[in-house]
Amino acid sequence: MKHLYRSIFIFAFVLVAGVIGASAQQKICGSIDKFNQTHRWQDLPGCTDNSDYSDQTGARTLMSRAKGQFKDFFDTWEKGDWDHLKSNSNCTSYDFNAESYWNSDPELVRAKPAYDELRRKVEGYMTWLPDLQNLWQRYFYAMTYIDEAKKGDMQYAKMAVDSSKDLQKAIAGVQAKGVLDELIMPGSGSIPAQTIGEIKSKLSEYLGEANSSLTNAINVDNAKWEPFTKLLTGDRLKFFNDSYRGGSNVFGRGGQYLDTPEEFDTATVMCTRTWGHSGIFETWRTDCYTFRGDRQISGPRSRSGIGTHTPPSAYQ
């Protein structure tokens, strides 16, 4: 039994020591000189998690509380947790109900300009928040589509180019409102957190990557469809590009599915089919065109009906 009590005591001691050690490691301390060099919340005078509970209005406690509030705000910002950002912006009232102490205690008086500078920065962040949320979305979309476009998908490549241009416009928009280059855009998954200045410096690189992916995707797509585009000419080629190449099924007379270059080159009638709804009923529609040689000589002729089966007579 004595050995059991001794083991429990040792375990408890190690646990408490670990908690105390972890708490000590969590403290983030700074100084006026350090803050004046970096202007980061981490370097504000005082330490986080350092309250003296026997002196609730002392400099150590008040700076610990205030610095903890700024930490909560910037931690929330860097996570991109926009929904909880407003509730963590109370750091702008870090001296609420304690103004007299911040204006009279020598240590707090010396520290106050640094805390006021951070107060103004947070107020700016909150003023810019709608524009910054839009910028973050543009950044997220650009990075996502640029990465996906590397796989050679045409649609993603086009979206990569468009989203990179949108990011460029969003950067110009926030800078016109005086947003600072040092402000951090949160990361997400494999997308890194970066300052606006860092993103701005890489805009030409991002757009270059997007354009390169689009060029590559176009070359891949052209090679894929070359058997068709080398054989078809005139209106037949235009119809093919507008329909089958874009993902639509194409049918010949009587509903024969067309799938080869030779079939597209010789079919006298070519039709597309779409599905829809009328109330609770499914509907179909066909649009048919007549060709002679490489010219379209009539169409479209549209037919429609109710149901999931399209009769052969609809393809004429």
Cα–Cα distance between 242 and 246 in angstroms, integer?
6
CA 159 to chain CA centroid, Å, is 13
Shared domain for 290 and 202, answered yes or no, is no
Shared domain for 35 and 151, answered yes or no, is yes
Shared domain for 249 and 151, answered yes or no, is no
Shared domain for 200 and 269, answered yes or no, is no
Identify the domain containing residue 286 by its residue range: 232-314
Shared domain for 286 and 222, answered yes or no, is no
Shared domain for 159 and 265, answered yes or no, is no
Structural contact between residues 91 and 114, judged by C-beta atoms closer than 8 angstroms? no
Q: Which two tokens stand for residue 83?
A: 């929904």
- Chosen domain end from 228, 247, 272: 228
Q: How many CB atoms lie within 10 A of CB 193?
A: 13
SS3 248: coil
Cα–Cα distance between 255 and 269 in angstroms, integer?
10
Q: Which two tokens stand for residue 63?
A: 């700076």
Residue indicated by tokens 């997308």: 191
SS3 284: strand
Shared domain for 88 and 146, answered yes or no, is yes
Shared domain for 4 and 36, answered yes or no, is no
pLDDT at 25: 54
Q: pLDDT in tens for each of the 316 residues of the chain?
A: 444 344 434 444 333 444 444 444 589 999 999 999 999 999 999 999 999 989 999 999 999 999 999 999 999 988 878 788 888 888 999 999 999 999 999 999 999 999 999 999 999 889 988 999 999 999 999 999 999 998 888 899 999 999 999 999 999 999 998 888 988 888 888 899 999 999 999 999 999 999 999 999 999 999 999 999 999 999 999 999 999 999 999 999 999 999 999 999 999 999 999 999 999 999 999 999 999 999 999 999 999 999 999 999 999 9
CA distance readout (Å), 31 to 18, 58, 75, 124, 183: 27, 17, 20, 23, 22
Shared domain for 199 and 244, answered yes or no, is no
pLDDT at 281: 94
Contact residues for 7 (Cβ-Cβ < 8 A; gap 6+): none
CA 255 to chain CA centroid, Å, is 44
Cα–Cα distance between 142 and 289 in angstroms, integer?
40
Shared domain for 300 and 173, answered yes or no, is no
CA atoms within 13 A on the CB side of 197: 5
- Chosen domain end from 168, 196, 228: 228
Cα–Cα distance between 89 and 119 in angstroms, integer?
9
Strands annotated E in the chain = 29-30, 46-47, 184-185, 194-195, 250-251, 269-278, 281-292, 295-306
Q: How many CB atoms lie within 10 A of CB 26?
A: 10
Cα–Cα distance between 216 and 61 in angstroms, integer?
60
- Chosen domain end from 228, 251, 276: 228
The DSSP code for 243 is T
Q: How many CB atoms lie within 10 A of CB 280?
A: 5
Shared domain for 73 and 209, answered yes or no, is yes
pLDDT at 23: 44
Shared domain for 195 and 122, answered yes or no, is yes
pTM of the model: 0.64
How many folded domains does the chain comprise?
3
